[in-house]
Amino acid sequence: MVLDHVDKHYGDLHVLQDINLEIKRGEVVVVIGPSGSGKSTLCRTINRLETIDSGTITLDGKELPAEGKGLAKLRAEVGMVFQSFNLFAHKTILQNVTLGPMKVRKLKKAEAEAEAKKLLDRVGVGAQAAKYPAQLSGGQQQRVAIARALAMKPQVMLFDEPTSALDPEMVKEVLDVMVSLAKEGMTMIVVTHEMGFARVAADRVVFMADGQIVESNTPSEFFDNPQSERAKDFLGKILKH
Amino acid sequence: MDLISESGSAILTSFGLTLRLAVFSGIFSLLLGVVLATFRVSPVPVLRWIGAAVVYTFRNTPLTLVMFFTLFGLSYQLGFSFDKDLLYRNNFWLAVLALSVYTSTFVCEVLRAGINTVPLGQAEAARAIGLTFTQNLRLVVLPQALRSVINPLASVLIAMTKNTTVAVTIGVTTATMVNEASGQMKSLMERNSDQILLIFIIFAVGFMILTLPIGFIAGWAAKRFAVIR
């Protein structure tokens, strides 16, 4: 996955400035940075939930289609997990996971359900399959959301602050699932404030500020020996406590 | 009680006609309303304009005018006819057409309000797993939108049932020349001027028998199908 000279404006605000980023197969990239630095926007442009003004984004050498069926097809290859879970409220947990495989991949119901149950077991919510999203805790809902994205067998998984809306005690259960995914070789782009996760699971940390990529390094180098003033200032503020 | 023994079966027949008008118009206005709402939230500008034009036109013209237009404009002037031989059949379907188009604009706007109650994030999540726009609407957004507007939709359908009385203006009758309810009421009053109050009551109760269940069923369905949030 390659982002080449990507630019985006919201009115006068230049939210993404000349972003160049290459993610290799199996690589886990953690994007950190202060609020409003454009990291969520970056994540959302990758499956075109946000449009870009200029530059190109390519997956497997193919450029992102702008709209229509081609775009829908591409999105099926890119799994996305949101801060606010966004489970389909009128469908059961099982139906949440089988919807994509059945309607997009055209899998038979039995096949999709067997696959979905495996995934739900894997993220530890298999027992909740018949319930509705509102009956689950935040941590459980987010793990279902991960299973829903995985059910499409995506090439890349995007995580947009997946633990920011969770109670502290539920953060770990979600991070555990993400760490095991990373260990299994899933290509992942993770926007997060969880520095612990970045240290354990990331191959590379990308630090963003004011719409630019300021620094990009291995986690140990970045945390122990930040190069830019902006990164030093940011780490100084968050690591003091 | 001479009134009942003399005209009872005609009254029943007239309400039967009213019921048929209401059922067909109800079905078509719901279907057309969904289509219009889809147009109005479509990513294609032309479809959005068409949807808006239809809604603005028919929601803001009196039903009587729309009803007249189907008979005098569409049928007499432009030569469109549902049935060239049987006038009563043509008029019936013209009335259904007028009621359906007119009511569908209200259905559309109620649905659009319902669509706004579905959190945007769910539509994004649906796009993110690769659903197309129509799949997204059909599988994720509309099922939830519909459930949140069952009661307001029932109000629209009740109003529509009562609006079937406007069909009297283009003379909708059965094969045996019995008018729909309001026409029947008028002719009964003309023939039984000493019992006008009784006739009023009979027809008012008749309409309540048709419309009250809509409200009750909607109240039950809104609870039964509520989306837990």
Say yes or no for a CB contact (<8 Å) between B131 and A90: no
- A181/A67: higher pLDDT: A181
- The answer to whether B129 faces chain A, any CB pair under 8 Å, is yes
Spell A115-127 as b/e; 16+ CB within 10 A means b: bbbebbebbebbe
- B123/A8: higher pLDDT: B123
Residue A241 is predicted with a pLDDT of: 57
- DSSP code for A12: T
* pTM score, whole prediction: 0.88
B227, closest residue in chain A (CA to CA): A90
Residue B27 is predicted with a pLDDT of: 98
- DSSP code for B173: B
Residue B1 is predicted with a pLDDT of: 57
Cα torsion angle, A211, A192, A195, A220, sign = negative
- With 90 as the cut, is the pLDDT of residue A148 above it? yes
Say yes or no for a CB contact (<8 Å) between A89 and B228: yes
Chain B residues in contact with A73 by the CB 8 A cut-off are 130
- The answer to whether A112 faces chain B, any CB pair under 8 Å, is no
Calculate what percentage of chain A has a pLDDT beyond 70. 99
Residue A5: pLDDT band by 50, 70, 90 thresholds?
A: confident
Mean pLDDT for chain A overall: 90
Residues 6+ apart with CB under 8 A from A198: A30, A32, A190, A192, A205, A219, A223
Q: What angle do CA A7, A11, A15 make, to 5 degrees?
A: 40
B117, closest residue in chain A (CA to CA): A89
CA–CA gap between residue A117 and residue A94 (Å, rounded): 7
DSSP states of A89-103? TTS-HHHHHHHHHHH
Say yes or no for a CB contact (<8 Å) between A73 and B130: yes
3-class secondary-structure state, position A162: coil
Give the model confidence (pLDDT) of A185-208 as tens digits. 999 999 999 998 999 899 999 999
Residue A118: pLDDT band by 50, 70, 90 thresholds?
A: very high
- With 80 as the cut, is the pLDDT of residue A239 above it? no
* Amino acid of residue B148: S
Residue A47 is predicted with a pLDDT of: 86
Residue B180 is predicted with a pLDDT of: 87
User: What is the side-by-side order of every strand in the sheet holding A62-63?
Assistant: A13-22, A2-10, A54-59, A62-63
φ, ψ for residue A82 (rounded to 5)?
-100, 160
3-class secondary-structure state, position A213: strand
- With 80 as the cut, is the pLDDT of residue A45 above it? yes
Domains in chain B (CATH in brackets) are 2-224 (1.10.3720.10)
Question: pLDDT under 70 in chain B at which residues?
Answer: 1
Please count the CA atoms within 13 angstroms of the CA of B54 that sit on its side-chain side: 24
Residue A101 is predicted with a pLDDT of: 95
Average pLDDT over residues A34-53: 88
Chain A residues in contact with B129 by the CB 8 A cut-off are 75-76, 79, 99-100, 104, 148-149, 152
> How far is CA A43 from each of CA A53, A78, A138, B8, B189, rounded to the nearest angstrom?
15, 11, 22, 71, 72
> How far is CA B17 from each of CA A27, B22, B174, B215, rounded to the nearest angstrom?
70, 9, 7, 21
Say yes or no for a CB contact (<8 Å) between B128 and A104: no
What is the ipTM score, two decimals? 0.90
Interface test with B, best of A67, A103, A159 (most B CBs within 10 A): A103
Q: Helical H runs in A91-218?
A: 93-103, 109-122, 138-150, 168-183, 195-201
Residues 31 through 70 of chain A touching chain B, CB cutoff 8 Å: 47, 49, 67, 69
CA–CA gap between residue B219 and residue B6 (Å, rounded): 38
